[in-house]
């Protein structure tokens, strides 16, 4: 059988390249890769794409981002996984926009457990993701106590997941960053 699922991503620009030009190459946008897979392999693969509750960093507006999102879906995506988000309102607003654009594929919320607010802030800054001020301030109170910071962050992540599940989103995608123990704690708490 082999591979049956593909997560079709354009990918992020290399961090050490200041003059990155996504127009050089075969797949300028994620939709181009989705289109290629569909043309070459038909319905053989189940194709996932990335979507952005707060808008893609390269989009000039939420509306422009939704246009690109719709193009990826129309090219043949079967499901989507969101960029990480820490305020569920952004996710719910994205789902409302997607419905208005006629997007009917499953959208999985992308969850990055908060364990170190400083590392997450750095990561969030390159992908247009907002960390709620309240949780950031609460975690920063424990800047010199990593275990307590991690506990506060995990408690937040557990509440975030419970809210999503309560609102009908029973399938979650976790960005593990090779920290399976953290994910295990979250899963045990939400089951």
Give domain limits for the chain: 5-190
pLDDT of amino acid 10: 77
Distance CA 105, CA 8 (A): 15
pLDDT of amino acid 19: 74
CATH fold for domain 5-190: TIM Barrel (3.20.20)
Q: Are 164 and 173 in contact (CB under 8 A)?
A: no
Residue 21 has pLDDT above 80, yes or no: no
Per the rule left: phi > 0, alpha: psi between -120 and 50, beta: everything else, 178 is left
pLDDT of amino acid 18: 73
The pLDDT-based confidence of 30 (bands split at 50, 70, 90) is: confident
Q: Please write the tens of the pLDDT for every residue from 103-154.
A: 999 999 999 999 999 988 888 888 889 999 999 999 999 999 999 999 999 9
Instruction: Classify residue 101 by burial, with Cβ atoms within 10 Å: 0-12, 13-18, 19+.
Output: middle
Overall pTM surpassing 0.85 (yes/no): yes
Where do the DSSP E strands lie in the chain? 5-7, 46-51, 79-84, 107-111, 173-174
Q: Please write the tens of the pLDDT for every residue from 58-68.
A: 899 999 999 99
**Of how many residues is the chain composed?**
191
More confident residue, 45 or 24: 45
Mean pLDDT, range 34-59, rounded to an integer: 95
pLDDT of amino acid 126: 84
Chain centroid offset of residue 188 CA: 22
Residue 13 has pLDDT above 70, yes or no: no
3-17, 29-43, 63-77: segment of lowest average pLDDT: 3-17
Residue 81 has pLDDT above 80, yes or no: yes
Distance CA 171, CA 152 (A): 24
More confident residue, 28 or 115: 115
In this structure, what token pair is assigned to residue 115? 């364990």
pLDDT of amino acid 46: 97
């Amino acid at each position: 059988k082999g591979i049956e699922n593909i997560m079709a991503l354009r990918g992020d620009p290399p961090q050490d390249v200041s003059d990155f030009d996504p127009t050089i190459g075969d797949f300028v946008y994620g939709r181009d890769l989705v289109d290629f897979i569909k043309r070459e392999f038909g319905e053989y693969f189940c194709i996932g794409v990335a979507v952005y509750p707060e808008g893609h960093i390269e989009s000039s507006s939420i509306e422009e981002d939704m246009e690109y999102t719709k193009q990826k879906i129309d090219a043949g995506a079967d499901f989507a996984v969101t960029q990480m988000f820490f305020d569920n309102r952004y996710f719910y607003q994205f789902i409302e926009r997607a419905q208005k654009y006629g997007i009917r594929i499953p959208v999985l919320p992308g969850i990055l457990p908060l364990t170190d607010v400083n590392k997450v802030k750095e990561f969030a800054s390159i992908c247009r993701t907002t960390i709620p001020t309240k949780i950031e301030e609460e975690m920063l109170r424990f800047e010199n106590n990593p275990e307590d910071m991690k506990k506060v962050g995990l408690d937040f992540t557990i509440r975030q997941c419970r809210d999503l599940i309560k609102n009908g989103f029973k399938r979650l995608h976790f960005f593990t960053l090779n920290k399976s123990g953290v994910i295990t704690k979250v899963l045990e708490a939400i089951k």
